[in-house]
């Protein structure tokens, strides 16, 4: 497969030409090089794609995962009807957003960047730093056992900032056990990864991830609020 690399307003445009099949491994290699050497904002032009098979679909899925793992953004435009139908058959239509033009795709990248920055600001306000350490266990929603453990750095009624050796990817759904001692004890909640920062080592040299609680009961939320308020009160009196 032929890939033409262009740059526009800090975004890399990849013009794809040919077939996305088992012989298109250079797509993954190119994505990796762009992420490492140029930018994490990528737009793919599918207008020149003639054929894509199920191996090719797997390559596209890997491409998407690699960009997300690097906290990047990727958009597609000029996606042919036959490609869109195949993506829909395997569920990739729920992952990718298609745009009719390069202008639209690049504009959406810029919009996403602004939204991400706003989210970071909201998280900074939401996760007030509280001088305490609390144990947290967590797993993916469909996993059987709680195999991961970390430390809560910040906690609020809406989420937590967690420092741990293993952090999940943006958007992953987890089940989390918060060890809030001496009371209320262990609280189990559903959480979504809304922020990851594997590069900044500001807490015991470990990466961090921001979790946002969802489907949390009123009682559990009340217990977390009371715990945070007690700790803040105790800290202010010291």
pLDDT tens digits, residue range 175-204? 999 999 887 899 999 999 998 875 555 556
pLDDT given at position 204: 61
- On whether the CB atoms of residues 14 and 30 are closer than 8 A, the answer is yes
Measured in degrees and rounded to the nearest 5, phi and psi for residue 196 equal -130, 145
Exposed, middle or buried: residue 237 (CB in 10 Å: 0-12, 13-18, 19+)? exposed
Q: Do 207 and 132 share a structural domain?
A: yes
Q: Do 102 and 9 share a structural domain?
A: yes
CB atoms closer than 10 angstroms to residue 190: 15
In terms of Cα–Cα distance, which of 213, 77, 79, 204 is closest to 156?
A: 213
Q: Do 224 and 162 share a structural domain?
A: yes
pLDDT given at position 132: 64
Q: Do 102 and 176 share a structural domain?
A: no
Write out the residue range of the structural domain in which residue 160 sits.
127-237
Q: Total structural domains in the chain? A: 2
Angle between helices 26-37 and 54-69 (to 10 degrees): 10
The answer, yes or no, to whether residue 133 has pLDDT greater than 90, is: no
Domain boundary, last residue among 80, 104, 121: 121
Confidence of residue 127 (pLDDT cuts 50, 70, 90): very low
The three-class DSSP label of residue 223 is helix
pLDDT tens track for 30-83: 999 999 999 999 999 999 999 999 999 999 999 999 998 888 899 999 999 999
Q: Do 161 and 52 share a structural domain?
A: no
Q: Is the pTM of this model over 0.85?
A: no
Q: Do 178 and 90 share a structural domain?
A: no
The residue-averaged pLDDT of 132-136 equals: 83
Domain boundary, last residue among 121, 152, 184: 121
Q: Do 86 and 47 share a structural domain?
A: yes
Instruction: Tell me the CA end-to-end span of the chain in Å, nearest whole number.
Output: 65
Confidence of residue 172 (pLDDT cuts 50, 70, 90): very high
In terms of Cα–Cα distance, which of 124, 150, 177, 154 is closest to 228?
A: 154
């Amino acid at each position: 497969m032929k890939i033409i690399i262009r740059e526009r307003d800090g975004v890399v445009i990849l013009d794809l030409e040919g077939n996305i099949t088992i012989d298109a491994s250079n797509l993954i290699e190119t994505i990796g090089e762009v992420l490492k050497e140029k930018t994490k904002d990528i737009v793919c032009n599918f207008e020149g794609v003639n054929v894509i098979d199920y191996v090719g679909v797997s390559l596209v899925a890997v491409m998407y995962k690699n960009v997300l793992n690097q906290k990047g953004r990727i958009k597609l435009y000029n996606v042919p009807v036959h490609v869109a139908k195949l993506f829909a058959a395997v569920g990739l239509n729920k992952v990718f957003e298609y745009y009719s033009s390069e202008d639209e795709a690049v504009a959406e990248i810029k919009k996403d960047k602004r939204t991400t920055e706003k989210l970071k600001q909201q998280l900074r306000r939401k996760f007030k730093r509280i001088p305490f350490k609390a144990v947290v266990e967590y797993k993916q929603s469909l996993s059987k056992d709680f195999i991961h453990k970390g430390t809560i750095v910040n906690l609020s009624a809406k989420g937590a900032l967690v420092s741990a050796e293993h952090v999940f990817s943006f958007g992953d759904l987890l089940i989390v056990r918060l060890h809030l001692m001496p009371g209320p004890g262990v609280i189990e909640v559903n959480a979504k990864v809304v922020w990851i920062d594997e590069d900044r080592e500001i807490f015991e040299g470990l990466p961090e991830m921001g979790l946002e609680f969802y489907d949390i009961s009123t009682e559990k939320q009340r217990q977390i609020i009371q715990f945070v308020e007690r700790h803040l009160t105790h800290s202010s009196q010291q």
